[in-house]
Chain A
């Protein structure tokens, strides 16, 4: 358990928050400049809070009252920075071997980490000659080899293009499966959150707005406020069943529902892999009966969880279809269909409006 209860005056606002983070992947989500990196630095020991306490697994690493402030090298914390920060004068092997294990767990063998992150071919190379994705893989391996109790990933994919992001995401998913440590994943991209995180902490201007399970938080209006109305919508975690069903459509399963969308740009053989779909709230319509003789291919039955009235003519309806789905409809429809929490509805989404968020 990582416990943070700290206050820190920053340039633009004051960081003030109390958090308890359990083993597994917790995403710290918020816009740029929300204070996410400051939090990472405070946990790692690179920035001292003005006041408060930070404890890792029952051991205090910072306590302003006792004047305790362990230096970074004595905290069981590993950090993967946004910019990699590999040592340019050392080879990949030298970078991997630089760290010193701290903390309570035993360090993995170099070969193990090299295998997990597929670094074998890179060992003799210099960081400057690596691609961005390769650099981040090495940075992740370097942090893992210090056997940290807490692994902080500070926007590790921010500097990468879409393809490289996907590559590193795959490795992070593998890492998540093999480990029971506390992983804190900082990001401002919701699709990464949906793919990796078990829990979500929402941060806005130095404050913890809410914290909890992923699916629960994805349905809350405050999240919509943070990510902005325009891109607002839901992200659905799906499994690929078939890349091409003969009509140029890909078939996915999503919490027991079947979804179709224009053929995914993926190699054959990707069946069984997880994927995150972005569904804009404006592309979802609701009806009380399953539509018949309709052009819409995707129909998901669910229950209305919440109705969030907006100013003007529109409202957002949160529907639980096994996962959280947002529908942006008119207030008139809400009134005429009697949409209120508990109502059984059918959500329809055009195949043409679905796309992969990766």
Chain B
């Protein structure tokens, strides 16, 4: 069995990449949902929330179809960028990112909606383009929401199981993150002690993430007031 710290490190790597890569998309989605009005908005809203209500195994299966070696997007990534998702930690990161996406968007959207639009108007009358107003007024003021979104997503990624095991299987060192390792150990005779250790590590990581989120949110709020 792989040492505990290696499994934990893999979990952290997968989750960090998942959050880092999905954050810009999440912010864009949240902004569109919070600030734009267009026909078909309800469809986008539904699509974003889909992973929340779909069984994770189904999400994993869909990812397999689209991003698998023979999937149209998977082949494209392979041929153009030399990136393979199947059975690799990158695939695990994608699965985690997709599953955590609704939580991330929800929190960021709330953050953006809490920003007074009249401040954005003021920015425009001072000569700021919509883009400049977004980056200098809206997003800094939505920082608490951004932070909450990122940390919620991170915690969700750490716990991702169903979509991951369906999409990228359970490969030691590549896709066997903490939840998958715990599951594997519980299937093995006399693996229970090790499983308990890993469960402890998972719990500790969750608590650290929660505390960090609270501290950061407080610091941001102090800055704003």
Q: Please report A residues at the B interface, Cβ cutoff 8 Å.
A: 44-46, 71-73, 77-79, 81, 83, 85, 87-89, 98-102, 126, 128, 142-143, 146
Contact = CB atoms under 8 A, between A and B. Distances in A.
Interface in B38-73: none
Interface of B: 116, 118-119, 121-130, 136-137, 140-141, 223-225
Greatest chain B CB density within 10 A among A45, A72, A78, A128 is at A72
A123 B129 CA distance: 25
A88 B118 CA distance: 12
Contacts of A99: 126-127
Given A98-B136, A128-B225, A87 B127 contact: no
12 contacts: A45-B125, A71-B129, A72-B124, A72-B125, A73-B127, A73-B129, A77-B125, A78-B125, A89-B224, A98-B128, A98-B136, A126-B225
A78 B123 CA distance: 11
Nearest to B133: A73
Nearest to A44: B125
B128 A85 contact: no
Contacts of B127: 73, 99-102, 146
**B interface: dominant SS:** helix
Contact of A88 (B125, B126, B128, B224): B224
Given A78-B125, A146-B127, A85 B136 contact: no
A142 B123 CA distance: 11
A52 to B, nearest CB: 20
Nearest to A102: B127
Contacts of B224: 88-89
Contacts of A102: 127
A89 B138 CA distance: 10
Contacts of B130: 71
A61 to B, nearest CB: 13
Contacts of B128: 73, 98, 100
Contacts of A100: 126-128
A71 B126 contact: no
Contacts of A73: 124-129
Contacts of A98: 123, 126, 128, 136
> What 5 A-B pairs are tightest by C-beta distance, nearest first?
A100-B127, A99-B126, A72-B124, A85-B122, A79-B125
Nearest to B220: A89
Given A81-B118, A85-B119, A128-B225, A45 B126 contact: no
A77 to B, nearest CB: 7
B141 to A, nearest CB: 6
Contacts of A101: 127
B137 A87 contact: yes
Nearest to B121: A46
A118 B128 CA distance: 26
B224 to A, nearest CB: 6
